Chain A
Amino acid sequence: MRYRSQSVAYWFFAVAMLLFALQLVFGFLSVAKYLGPDPLLNVLPFDVTKVIHTNLLVVWVLMGFLGAAYYIVPQECETELHSTRMAVWTLLLLAVLGVVAIVGYMFGWTAGNKLLEQPLPIKLGIVVVMLMFAYNILQTMRKAPRVTGTAVVLVAGLLGAALLFLPALLDFRNYTVATFYRWWTIHLWVEGVFELIQASMLAFLLMHLTGVSRTTMEKWLYIVVGLTFLTGLIGTAHHYFWIGVPEYWLPLGGFFSALEPLPFLAMALMAYYALRQMKVAPPNRVALHWAMGSALMAGIGAGLLGLAHTWPAVNRWTHGTMVTPMHGHLAFFGAYGMIILGMISYTTPFLTGNPEKAHRHGGIGLWAFWLMVAGITGMTMAFGAAGIGQVYMERILGMGYLDVQLLLHVHFQMLVFAAVVFASGVMLFLWDFFMRHPRQGIALGEPAVPHEEPAEV
């Protein structure tokens, strides 16, 4: 950390971690309803706990991204943030919107559109948050003495996310057309611009953790960007398979989404290359674990498990079964959860003082890492077993949905077991994070004077 305004990232990360913990609570509530009967049926039914579970995910991931951007951009562009005050207001507004949305869901205030359940006023508030962020970060870069490729890709990813949110504001008469454009937001976020954000965070972390050259990392970064859009744009069509669109989306979606593992493979190679070329003793082993883990688990979860059911002839039978959450859980955690946890692990020593003691909590940090990795792997296997069983019994043999769900109980029990392992890792991570206190208050309006830090590249 070289600029005081970077310290604002701590508060984004702190709120993100609280929301992450809350997300787990609603995950457990949701799976409990799979085991049933549900004592909360008329108070907090499944649709509400599920919406809160997924919305919390989106909010904490966005907060993690924004925090990371407020940390990375000043460092990369060698300047203070344009306005730390504005960054704080962005955080507060997003947090308030999140809380209002979640409380609203509990009282039935919802737009009822999958993953875009936020009622219109909330959505407009999110647009304001994005505009505030865009203004602040672009002003920062405009005044900066240098602008790096890493910063450009990161900011392009975040601005792209803002742009792609706009279709979500529209109301369509035709459900098929509404679904068509809903995926412009959802798919082109998670399998488009979010990959840019992940890759630039990965490049930043690898540069600092392994000492490989900027030129090499940014070359890989651009390859990831190209592959992401080469495959991911038309790859959107794997969401168009059975919703009432022209036939040609099937072969197109099958072919291009089968290539979608490529950008993740490039990220894994980028990480592997960086590790092989390691120039320094890693200053932060925990962060290095998360960075490498993200590159690998994103490749498995988003890449391979997506590929597993993306071909139209397969998806015809697996569409709308537990096979999807199998892919979804590992994809989201592997790609976006892990990279943010990596960013947090890397920055926490600087944000809380004692950067030279980054290893002090290494033991706990590594325990947290391995428990989460083991837990999410078990969860993925439980979802996968349930999904495969469901496909064969319900879709192929033709047994009734409700009867098949009863037969899947054992897999939901295993899901709970794996989720407990995962949650214990999260608890350790949170304890490690919150046991340390931020080094300073947020430096509002401080002069742009860089100060020296050890162990920085």
Chain B
Amino acid sequence: MTKRQAAVFAVGATGLFTAVFVGLTIHSHTAFPGLTNQADITPEVLAGKDVWHRKNCVNCHTLMGEGAYYAPDLTQITMQRGEAYLVQFLTDPSRFYSEEEHRRLMPDPKLDDAQKRDVIAFLDWISKIENQNWPPRPILVTGGAVPGGYATGRRATAATSDDPVAMGESLFHAAPPGCAACHALSPGVVMAGPPLANMATRAADVVASEGYTGAAETAEGYVRESILEPSAHIVPGDLYSADGQSFMPNNYGDLLTPEQIEHLVAYLMTLR
């Protein structure tokens, strides 16, 4: 190859691939509105984006895997934690995590109430972007126990059998609903919600107890109620609720089909 041929190669390759790259970029712009649900970018989402930038969140956290690697990925955090929980967390992170235990802690972000709602709205919009199903499996904030070979998949995946318990177990580990992101199955392991190690036994005890404030009459009924109306009966503990409102999202009735709820109930009732 002569020097002149090399120069022609340099200019030609640069020109050709610039053209291809710009062409694909123009095409991508036709796809962005659909893939990112552009119609859902409300003023709250935009205000939340400003909070995200102003507070430099991306230099500890990642979003869609992009950012720094010092704090958990937040792509699907609103699928794992309800708004009530996130508001309380943003108010005082040290209430939920111990710097002594985890060796690091989020400093108080000093947000007012509107900013908290806005940034949560922004994160919720992010969680719904069609991004080739990343992450392939929910990235949990905490939870030390290895869950032991659960079915893969970010969206609710089909279980390998049509047994309601098997389908419920599969759903429990999928996101949404992301139950496993907050509830451990090992006794005494507190992630964000109470551990569900002996759920069926405890449900029977709760329904029979004096302090029960819900409307269910059976253990199974209580499990169903706790999914659909988490605040009907509050499990004691500072980490789980504030002002009589459970931190658990209260929209599973919309997010899941009635059959899926029954599958979850069937699965949870096997935990004795």
In the assembly, what is the distance between CA of A236 and CA of B126, in Å?
Answer: 22
Kindly specify which of A399-407, A427-435, A436-444 makes contact with the partner chain.
Answer: A399-407
Q: Residue on B with the closest CB to A46?
A: B70
Q: How distant is A118 from chain B, measured CB to nearest CB, in Å?
A: 12
Task: Given the known inter-chain contacts A222-B9, A230-B13, please indicate yes or no for A244 contacting B73, CB distance below 8 A.
Answer: no
In the assembly, what is the distance between CA of A36 and CA of B100, in Å?
Answer: 8
Q: How distant is B242 from chain A, measured CB to nearest CB, in Å?
A: 22
Give the one of A37, A222, A244, A316 with max B CB within 10 A: A244
Q: Is the CB of A114 within 8 A of B64?
A: no
Q: Is the CB of B58 within 8 A of A176?
A: no
Q: Is the CB of B99 within 8 A of A38?
A: yes
The yes or no answer to A242 lying at the interface (CB within 8 A) is: yes
Task: Given the known inter-chain contacts A48-B56, A241-B134, please indicate yes or no for A218 contacting B3, CB distance below 8 A.
Answer: yes
Q: Is the CB of A114 within 8 A of B142?
A: no
Chain B contact patch, size range: 35 or more
In the assembly, what is the distance between CA of A399 and CA of B136, in Å?
Answer: 14
Kindly specify which of B32-40, B211-219, B229-237, B255-263 makes contact with the partner chain.
Answer: B32-40
The yes or no answer to A325 lying at the interface (CB within 8 A) is: yes
In the assembly, what is the distance between CA of A37 and CA of B104, in Å?
Answer: 6
The yes or no answer to B206 lying at the interface (CB within 8 A) is: no
Q: Is the CB of B107 within 8 A of A401?
A: no
**Chain A residues with CB under 8 A of B55:** 112
Task: Given the known inter-chain contacts A113-B58, A243-B131, please indicate yes or no for A215 contacting B3, CB distance below 8 A.
Answer: yes
Q: How distant is A57 from chain B, measured CB to nearest CB, in Å?
A: 14
The yes or no answer to A317 lying at the interface (CB within 8 A) is: yes
- Chain B, 163-194, contact with A by CB distance < 8 Å: what is the 0/1 string? 00000000000000000100000000001000
- Chain B, 33-68, contact with A by CB distance < 8 Å: what is the 0/1 string? 001101001000010010011111111101111111
Partner of A247, one of B24, B62, B132, B146: B132
Task: Given the known inter-chain contacts A114-B58, A222-B10, please indicate yes or no for A245 contacting B140, CB distance below 8 A.
Answer: no
Q: Is the CB of B46 within 8 A of A173?
A: yes
| CB neighbors of B among A229-255 (8 A) | 229-230, 233-234, 236, 239, 241-250, 252
| CB neighbors of A among B122-157 (8 A) | 122, 126, 129-132, 134-147, 150
Q: Residue on A with the closest CB to B50?
A: A112
In the assembly, what is the distance between CA of A174 and CA of B13, in Å?
Answer: 32
In the assembly, what is the distance between CA of A234 and CA of B21, in Å?
Answer: 6
Q: Is the CB of B143 within 8 A of A399?
A: yes
In the assembly, what is the distance between CA of A317 and CA of B71, in Å?
Answer: 17
Q: Is the CB of B27 within 8 A of A320?
A: no
**Chain B residues with CB under 8 A of A180:** 25, 28, 32
Q: How distant is B40 from chain A, measured CB to nearest CB, in Å?
A: 11
Task: Given the known inter-chain contacts A111-B53, A230-B13, A236-B21, please indicate yes or no for A33 contacting B3, CB distance below 8 A.
Answer: no
Partner of B143, one of A41, A176, A218, A403: A403
| CB neighbors of B among A29-51 (8 A) | 33-38, 41-42, 45-48, 50-51
| CB neighbors of B among A175-225 (8 A) | 175-177, 179-180, 215, 218-223, 225
Among all A-B residue pairs, the 4 with the closest Cβ atoms: A320-B65, A36-B103, A112-B53, A242-B134
Binding site for A on B (CB under 8 A): 1-3, 6-7, 9-14, 17-18, 20-21, 24-25, 27-29, 31-32, 35-36, 38, 41, 46, 49, 52-60, 62-73, 97, 99-100, 102-105, 107-108, 122, 126, 129-132, 134-147, 150, 180, 191
